[in-house]
Chain A
Amino acid sequence: MSKFKKKKDGGLPAINTASLPDIVFMLLFFFMVATVMRDNSLMIDNHLPSASEVEKLEKKNLVMYIYVGKPSSQYKKKYGTEARIQLNDKFAEVSDIAAFIYSERESKREEEIPYLTTSLKVDKKANMGLIGDIKQELRKVNALKINYASIKGDVSRNKQ
């Protein structure tokens, strides 16, 4: 009869999703700003030990990482089951550490070099012999600031 159709009763009106992209973008920007890209893919098992007296490492760009642990399952065949050192996506020997430290220093500004810290990310099952060799190597190249990476927690979890 009339020109205007009467609205149908019943049935929920569709929810307006026009602002959904805005919300998602907001989250996206948060993560983009907060992100530090994973720069190393680990080829070793790396279960860090726990310690209660940990200090936070400031200034991530001034930290060099040395990973130590048993090769993870897909590399076991090739590299065996003994704990190995990983530097920048590659398995390395103790003798490679000096070159690694020099190349890291090369990429930093000169005034930053004294503040460089070496973070030892070592699997808790590794033997101290290898760590001792690494420490000796670091002393030789005068990279004396080190940090034993560990998770905040109780030391009783270090037992196997």
Chain B
Amino acid sequence: MAKRAAPEVNAGSMADIAFLLLIFFLVTTTMEKDSGINRKLPPIEDSDEDVIIKQKNIFTVLLNGKDQLLVEDEIMELKDLRAAAVEFLDNGGGTDADGNKCDYCKGKKDPRSSDHPDKAIISLKNERKTSYGQYISVQNELVAAYNVLRNRRALEIGPRRGFADMNFIEMQKNYKDVNWVGNKEKLKELISQIKKEYPQKLSEVQ
């Protein structure tokens, strides 16, 4: 008897099976990357030693249970908070801990406001009834104030170091980007210098 060829397998339903799997993975996929505002909580310290900070170096932001904002004992709208925080941080009326003047500050040099960005502290207080949404809005504005100053500083000293037309946010992004072409060592140095010039001192007390 003649040898018969093996019958061909019907592959018509292969697409259906593949579709089934595809739909399963489509449904279970979470594509978005998590994003948010990074914060570092203060560690619990055993010592009861109080560090004395001059009142003029503290920028108090109080958020009450009705989501109203009290900044330096004055009622303020959320939209004005960023400018007020920038003005406070950038004041540079005195010297830092080592006695250096703030030569990159462009503020009013008001002796009643903060001495130096290195000393300036923003203190954010909230009540138990404060809504989380409003709290994040305020946090966002305060972080934005720091970013405004850092971006300005980056555009100022960036070109001298060979990183022209790049603000602080872009610098950080480029530093993390593996495809970015450039001197990462130098960029890292620059980023940490700017971070040191405008340190983020934001305390969340209860």
Residues of A within 8 A of B (CB): 17-18, 20-21, 24-25, 27-28, 31-32, 34-38, 49-58, 60, 63, 68, 117, 119-120, 122-129, 131-132, 135-136, 138-140, 142-152, 155, 158-160
Contact = CB atoms under 8 A, between A and B. Distances in A.
19 contacts: A21-B11, A31-B29, A35-B25, A35-B28, A49-B133, A50-B136, A51-B139, A55-B36, A56-B33, A56-B35, A127-B129, A131-B132, A140-B44, A144-B41, A147-B36, A148-B37, A149-B35, A155-B136, A159-B134
A54 B128 CA distance: 24
A37 B28 contact: yes
Contact of B35 (A57, A126, A131): A57
Contacts of B96: none
B97 interface: no
B156 to A, nearest CB: 20
Nearest to A147: B36
Interface residues of B, number: 48
B38 A129 contact: no
A10 B152 CA distance: 72
Interface string B42-63: 1110000000000000000001
Contacts, number: 164
A120 to B, nearest CB: 8
B130 A128 contact: yes
B22 interface: yes
A81 to B, nearest CB: 15
A140 B135 CA distance: 22
